[in-house]
Structure 1
Amino acid sequence: MGYSLREIQEILDGYYWNDDSSKDCLITNFEIEPRHFQPVKGNCFISISKKRWEAAHKNKQTQWVDGNKRILGHSEKCSLIITEKAIPALKDSIPQLIVKDSYRAISQLAKASRKKMTNPVIGITGSVGKSTTRLLFEHLLKEEHTLVATRGNHNTQAGVPLYGAKLCTNPDFAILEISLNALNNRGNQALNIEPDACIVTAIGEAHLSTLHSTANIARFKARIFEGLKKDGLAIINQDIAAKEFDILYDKAKQRTDRIRTYSMTSSEADLYLKHIASDKYVTSATVCYRGDEYEFQMKLAGKGTIENTLAVLLYLGENGYDLQHFIPKLLHFKSLDRIMELKTLTTADQRSVDILDDSHNASIPAMENALDTFRTRQKFYKGNKILVLGQVADLGENSQQLHDKLLPKILDAGFDYVFGHGKYMRQVIKQIPSSKVGGWFNNAHDLARRIPLYCSDDSLILLKGSVSGSDFRLTSHYLPEQLKQSSRQAISHEPSELAELLDCSFAARLYDEDDKNVYEKGNTQSQTIDGLGPLLLLYSLLEKGLKKGELTLSDWPTNNGSSIHGKPFRKGEPFLYEELLEELYMTQHPSVIFELAYRYFNSRKAAMEQILKLAQSFRLSDAASLNITGRYRVKEQQSYDVNDLFLVGSSMRKKGMEQQLPTIMNPASADVRGIIFGSERKSCLAFLNGFMFCIIGAVSSQQIVENILELYEQAEKKSLIKTGLKG
Structure 2
Amino acid sequence: MNKSVQQVADWLGIETQQWKDIRIKGVSINTRTLKPGELFIPFRGEHVNGHRFVRQAIELGAGASLWQRDEPDPPQGLPLLFVDDCEKALQQMARAYRQELKGTIVGITGSNGKTSTKDLVASVLAPYFKVEKTQGNLNNQLGLPLTILSLDEEVEFAILEMGMSAFGEIEFLSELARPDYAIITNIGEAHMQDLGSREGIARAKFEITAGLSRQGKLFYDGDEPLLQPYVENWTQAVSFGFGDDNELTITSVEATENGSEFSVSGVIDAAFTIPVLGRHQIKNALPAILLALDTGLEEEDIRRALKKATLTDMRMQPVRAENGTVFINDAYNAAPTSMKAALQFLGEIKMKPEKWVVLGDMLELGEQERAYHEELASQLPEGLRGVLLYGPRMKWLHDELKETFNGELMWSEEDLEPLIGKLESDLSPDSLVLVKGSRGMELERIIEPLTASK
* Normalised TM-score (structure 2): 0.91
Of 233, 236, 249 in structure 2, the residue corresponding to residue 272 of structure 1 is: 249
Distance 2:345 2:76 in 1: 56
Distance 1:327 1:103 in 2: 42
Q: Secondary structure at the match of 1:122?
A: strand
- Output the amino acid matched with 1:49: R
| Cα shift at 1:168 | 7.2
| Cα shift at 1:390 | 0.7
1:364 and 1:71, CA in 2 relative to 1: closer, same or farther beyond 3 A? farther
Q: Which residue of 2 aligns with 1:418?
A: 387
Of 171, 175, 198 in structure 2, the residue corresponding to residue 214 of structure 1 is: 198
> Could you give the per-residue CA deviations for residues 489-548 of structure 1, whole angstroms, max 9, x where no partner exists?
xxxxxxxxxxxxxxxxxxxxxxxxxxxxxxxxxxxxxxxxxxxxxxxxxxxxxxxxxxxx
| Cα shift at 1:72 | 2.5
1:176 and 1:286, CA in 2 relative to 1: closer, same or farther beyond 3 A? same
Distance 2:10 2:435 in 1: 51
Distance 1:146 1:484 in 2: 36
Of 304, 325, 349 in structure 2, the residue corresponding to residue 328 of structure 1 is: 304
* Normalised TM-score (structure 1): 0.58
| Cα shift at 1:406 | 2.1
Matched, 1:98 2:98: no
| Cα shift at 1:207 | 0.7
Q: Which residue of 2 aligns with 1:6?
A: 6
> Could you give the per-residue CA deviations for residues 151-206 of structure 1, whole angstroms, max 9, x where no partner exists?
11111121122223345725211111111248636962211111111110000111
Distance 1:282 1:477 in 2: 23
> Could you give the per-residue CA deviations for residues 283-310 of structure 1, whole angstroms, max 9, x where no partner exists?
21112243x4221112232112110100
Q: Which residue of 1 aligns with 2:164?
A: 180
> Could you give the per-residue CA deviations for residues 378-404 of structure 1, whole angstroms, max 9, x where no partner exists?
x3214x311000111000011011122
Matched, 1:319 2:295: yes
Of 237, 241, 244 in structure 2, the residue corresponding to residue 263 of structure 1 is: 241
Q: Which residue of 2 aligns with 1:380?
A: 351
Tell whether the 8 Å contact from 1:390 to 1:464 is kept in structure 2 after alignment: yes
Q: Which residue of 1 aligns with 2:38?
A: 43
Matched, 1:245 2:227: yes
Distance 2:264 2:59 in 1: 51
Matched, 1:223 2:216: no
1:48 and 1:371, CA in 2 relative to 1: closer, same or farther beyond 3 A? same
| Cα shift at 1:15 | 4.6
Q: Secondary structure at the match of 1:406?
A: helix
**Mean Cα deviation higher: 394-403 or 181-190:** 181-190
Q: Secondary structure at the match of 2:108?
A: strand
Distance 1:130 1:65 in 2: 32
Tell whether the 8 Å contact from 1:263 to 1:273 is kept in structure 2 after alignment: yes
Distance 1:174 1:485 in 2: 38
Distance 2:330 2:54 in 1: 33
1:168 and 1:338, CA in 2 relative to 1: closer, same or farther beyond 3 A? closer
Q: Secondary structure at the match of 2:314?
A: coil
Tell whether the 8 Å contact from 2:39 to 2:64 is kept in structure 1 after alignment: yes
- Output the amino acid matched with 1:22: K
Q: Which residue of 1 aligns with 2:370?
A: 400
| Structure 2 unaligned blocks of 5 or more | none
Of 433, 449, 452 in structure 2, the residue corresponding to residue 481 of structure 1 is: 449
Of 4, 15, 21 in structure 2, the residue corresponding to residue 23 of structure 1 is: 21
1:484 and 1:105, CA in 2 relative to 1: closer, same or farther beyond 3 A? closer
- Output the amino acid matched with 1:8: V
Give the 5 Å matches for 1:86-125: 95-125=79-109
Q: Secondary structure at the match of 1:435?
A: coil
| Cα shift at 1:420 | 0.9
Matched, 1:127 2:105: no
| Cα shift at 1:121 | 0.8
Identical residues among aligned pairs (%): 23
| Cα shift at 1:145 | 2.6
Q: Which residue of 2 aligns with 1:353?
A: 325
Distance 2:199 2:425 in 1: 44
- Output the amino acid matched with 2:29: I
Distance 2:302 2:32 in 1: 34
Tell whether the 8 Å contact from 1:231 to 1:257 is kept in structure 2 after alignment: no
Distance 2:151 2:7 in 1: 15
By relative contact order (CA 8 Å, sep 6+), the higher-ranking structure is 2
- Output the amino acid matched with 1:246: Q
- Output the amino acid matched with 2:168: N
Q: Secondary structure at the match of 2:406?
A: helix
Distance 1:70 1:95 in 2: 10
Matched, 1:438 2:370: no
Tell whether the 8 Å contact from 1:125 to 1:200 is kept in structure 2 after alignment: yes
Distance 1:73 1:45 in 2: 7
| Cα shift at 1:42 | 4.0
- Output the amino acid matched with 1:113: Y
Q: Secondary structure at the match of 2:148?
A: helix
Paired residues, number: 450
Q: Which residue of 1 aligns with 2:438?
A: 466
> Could you give the per-residue CA deviations for residues 88-111 of structure 1, whole angstroms, max 9, x where no partner exists?
89755x622121111101111121
Distance 2:181 2:100 in 1: 17
Q: Which residue of 2 aligns with 1:515?
A: none
Distance 1:279 1:133 in 2: 20
Tell whether the 8 Å contact from 1:237 to 1:311 is kept in structure 2 after alignment: no
Tell whether the 8 Å contact from 1:156 to 1:182 is kept in structure 2 after alignment: no
Tell whether the 8 Å contact from 1:371 to 1:413 is kept in structure 2 after alignment: no
Q: Secondary structure at the match of 1:481?
A: helix
**Mean Cα deviation higher: 273-282 or 179-188:** 179-188
Tell whether the 8 Å contact from 1:113 to 1:166 is kept in structure 2 after alignment: no
Tell whether the 8 Å contact from 1:29 to 1:43 is kept in structure 2 after alignment: yes
1:34 and 1:226, CA in 2 relative to 1: closer, same or farther beyond 3 A? same
Of 125, 137, 150 in structure 2, the residue corresponding to residue 141 of structure 1 is: 125
Give the 5 Å matches for 1:637-648: none
Q: Secondary structure at the match of 1:360?
A: coil
Distance 1:387 1:71 in 2: 51
Q: Which residue of 2 aligns with 1:703?
A: none
Distance 2:143 2:103 in 1: 20
1:451 and 1:73, CA in 2 relative to 1: closer, same or farther beyond 3 A? farther
Distance 1:71 1:235 in 2: 46
Of 291, 296, 302 in structure 1, the residue corresponding to residue 272 of structure 2 is: 296
Matched, 1:456 2:428: yes
Give the 5 Å matches for 1:48-63: 48-50=43-45, 62=46
Q: Which residue of 1 aligns with 2:30?
A: 33
| Cα shift at 1:342 | 1.8
CA RMSD of aligned residues (A): 2.7
